[in-house]
Amino acid sequence: MGRWMKPEVYPLLAAMTFVTSMCVFQLTRNAFMNPDVRINKAHRTTAVLENEDEGRRYSLHSFRKFLSHQRPEIMPAINSFFSKKDQ
């Protein structure tokens, strides 16, 4: 690969690989786990699905539960340093 691929391209390749993998993950998650997507015939025949708890489980996944208990700060050490009042 060294002959036709320059080292300057590696960061771009890494970023594009990351973004593509995130898109594939989200599309796969929506296709197989979303309660509104009906793949099998049994779910497609019903007009309205009674699956409130399944929808709640889909929307409140473990990563969202983890983030709900975290403070909404990107750099907490710097925020606390600059938010202290002079004493």
The single-letter code of the amino acid at 37 is V
Highest mean pLDDT among 23-32, 36-45, 49-58, 62-71: 23-32
SS3 54: helix
Q: Are 31 and 37 in contact (CB under 8 A)?
A: yes
DSSP 57: H
Q: Please, which pLDDT band fits residue 60 given cuts at 50, 70 and 90?
A: confident
pLDDT value of residue 27: 92
The structure tokens 């983890």 sit at 66
| All residues at 6 or more sequence positions from 63 whose CB lies less than 8 Å from its CB, including other chains | none
DSSP 31: H
Residue 56 pLDDT > 90: no
